Amino acid sequence: MRETINEEVGVVMYYNASKRLAAPHLIHWQNKDYKVGKIGYHHTVREGATLHHVFELVDTDQTLWFRLNLDTSNLHWKLEKISDGLPG
């Protein structure tokens, strides 16, 4: 079931200089850590002067789907949505 969350979460991010790639590596939400698996989608959205990086990804167990938003004006991460893939 897909759920709207809109909560700030902790994220460990990495940067690979040779590939010029920055991406989330670990999500900390509700006292649990979720290791990031495949990133399916990344895009940017501009709201006024603020640029947002939006990532859609699954955990390494491929049991949960996450939609994360990085607000570049304050470098805060927000978990926008989550899904366990089940209907409902």
pLDDT more than 90, % of the chain: 93
Cβ pair 56, 41 in contact under 8 A = yes
Q: Whose structure tokens read 């895009």?
A: 43
- 29-72 confidence digits (pLDDT tens): 999 999 999 999 999 999 999 999 999 999 999 999 999 999 99
Q: What is the pLDDT of residue 73?
A: 97
Q: How far apart are CA 81 and CA 68, in angstroms?
A: 7
By residue count, the chain amounts to 88
Q: Domain segments of the chain: what residues?
A: 2-83
Cβ pair 1, 87 in contact under 8 A = yes
Pair of tokens at residue 64: 């949960």
Q: How far apart are CA 31 and CA 18, in angstroms?
A: 33
Task: Report the predicted TM-score, pTM, of the whole model to 2 decimal places.
Answer: 0.92
3-state secondary structure of 53: strand
